[in-house]
Amino acid sequence: MKEEEEILDFYKGWARCLNTEFNNDSETGKKFYEIDQVVTFDLFGFTGRGAFKEHFEETFPYFANAHVDFRDLEIFATSKTSGYATMFQRLRGKAVDGKPFEMIYRITGLLSKNNGRWQWVHEHVSFPVNMATKEADFTSSIDPKKAFHF
């Protein structure tokens, strides 16, 4: 389906942006979001509609020297102007304070196409919990070496 190919290209563009452009200017990542409409549930909590610009500017520069890999990416176009994707993402790099980080998490992104451009309008990031130990599983029980990247 044409829309699913477009959404795949969108994710390839996000990977390219995060893996290269972000190193010089995290602001370049804003083009992937419908800033005024985005709602997120992520490791920083809930960000409601209308508050994403501030959230982005406070948190995304932290990941300026990061690389992202995807695993089990599934894309679904629900219409010519809406779709979603689910996957595991591995984000690794050095934070602005120089400390290395690595996270593997599940993510669902809802996208809308306006004026010919796909953008996120919702993201939900989750870290699994091992129910037996009641402890967070920050690697989602995935071998990071099995992730793939564009």
Domains with residue ranges and CATH for the chain: 2-146 (3.10.450.50)
Q: Report which of residues 126 and 108 the model is more confident about.
A: 108
* pTM of the entire predicted model: 0.83
Residue where the block lists tokens 């290209």: 9
Q: What is the rounded distance in angstroms from the CA atom of residue 140 to the CA atom of residue 13?
A: 25
Joined together, the tokens standing for residue 37 give 């409409």
Residue with the two structure tokens 């890999």:
69
Please report which confidence band the pLDDT of residue 6 belongs to, taking 50, 70 and 90 as the band edges: very high
Band of pLDDT at residue 128, cut at 50, 70 and 90: confident
Cα angle for residues 73, 80, 121 (degrees, 5° grid): 60
Q: Which two tokens stand for residue 105?
A: 């998490």
- Please report where in the chains the tokens 């779709």 appear, as a residue: 83
pLDDT digits (tens, 9 = 90+) for 107-121: 999 999 999 999 999
**Residue whose tokens read 């402890």:** 135
